[in-house]
Amino acid sequence: MDGWIKLWRKSIDSGLIKNHNVWIFWTYCLLKANHEKDYKQVVGFQEIVLQPGQFIFGRKKAAGETGLSEQQIRTCLTFLKKYENLTIKTTNKFSIVSIINWGRYQYKENEINQQSNQHVTSSQPASNHKQEHKNIITEEEKKKKPKKKFTPPTKEETQQYFFNNGYTKKSGLKAWQYYDAGNWKDSTGKPVKSWKQKMRGVWFKDENKINNNEYQAPRKTIAERKAEENELFANTTPTTR
């Protein structure tokens, strides 16, 4: 017999775990219980069909497997029947113990475990192949994913951007000419991804500011500020000239 069972923490709150004999017998019952539907078991010359949560029970065998005496087994059985943890159906040849609410506390997860155990060996190579194939596709997709094309600003756009942020149009023209002459690459030779970010990081200096008496920054709409923020932080890179 293999597989797993669940032990609920409520057993601590109920005090069941403090009664050591009952706890031993109760966990024994959970471990012995069948988890398959219509499981067939032969007892003597008779075939018994068991449902999930049921098992063939005998006091003498239970005593040998748990280390409890037959009298202790009988006492534990009476206790668990009284508190509706299980029922027992007795014939002149054998008894069938049924765990109450087995399907609620055990069956579904056991069914998943059983199915996983049955298929893990056969499905693992296929799963590994699928994962490997998935990784290859992912890398290919990354390579094929179109990159956002950089569009250089016009001279007028750059000057107006400087002016709107409190810097002289002259310094804006100087910045535009610097990058335009270098095919919009910075001082390290890397292509400029966000020209506004580059202007803020490199060219927005105190020496390029407009005199306060000569300038009043035009008020921007919320939409304009939001669009500018999105463009500035979309391609954040270390500041280089």
Please give the pLDDT value at position 174.
Answer: 93
| DSSP symbols for 166-188 | TB-HHHHHHHHHHHHHTTSB-TT
Q: pTM of the entire structure?
A: 0.44
Categorize the per-residue pLDDT at 62 as very low, low, confident or very high, splitting at 50, 70 and 90.
very high
Tokens of 205: 């200096």
Query: Is a pLDDT exceeding 50 seen at residue 110?
Result: no
Instruction: Specify the residue for token string 């304009």.
Output: 224
Determine the Cα–Cα distance for residues 226 and 40; give it in Å rounded to an integer.
Answer: 70
Contact by Cβ (8 Å): 86, 98: yes
**Residue 66: partners with Cβ closer than 8 Å, 6 or more residues away:** 24, 25, 28, 73
- Tell me what pLDDT residue 125 has: 57
What value does the mean pLDDT of the chain take? 80
Mean pLDDT (whole number) for 151-172: 93
What percent of the chain is modeled with pLDDT above 90?
42
For the record, the structure tokens of 93 come out as: 């040849």
Lowest mean pLDDT among 6-15, 20-29, 107-116: 107-116
Does 190 have pLDDT greater than 70? yes
Domains and CATH numbers, the chain: 10-105 (1.10.10.10), 155-234 (no CATH)
- Main-chain dihedrals φ then ψ at residue 129, nearest 5 degrees: -65, -40
Tokens encoding 79: 């206790």
For residue 89, the model assigns a pLDDT of: 92
Task: Report the percentage of the chain scoring pLDDT > 70.
Answer: 74
What are the tens digits of pLDDT across the range 28-54? 999 999 888 898 988 888 899 999 999
pLDDT, residue 44, reads: 82
Average of per-residue pLDDT across 50-68 = 93
CA distances from 81 to 12, 22, 56, 85, 87 (A): 19, 12, 16, 6, 6
pLDDT of 97 reads: 95
Beta strands in 19-156 (DSSP E): 39-43, 46-50, 54-57, 86-90, 95-99
pLDDT for residue 130: 54
CA 106 to chain CA centroid, Å, is 24
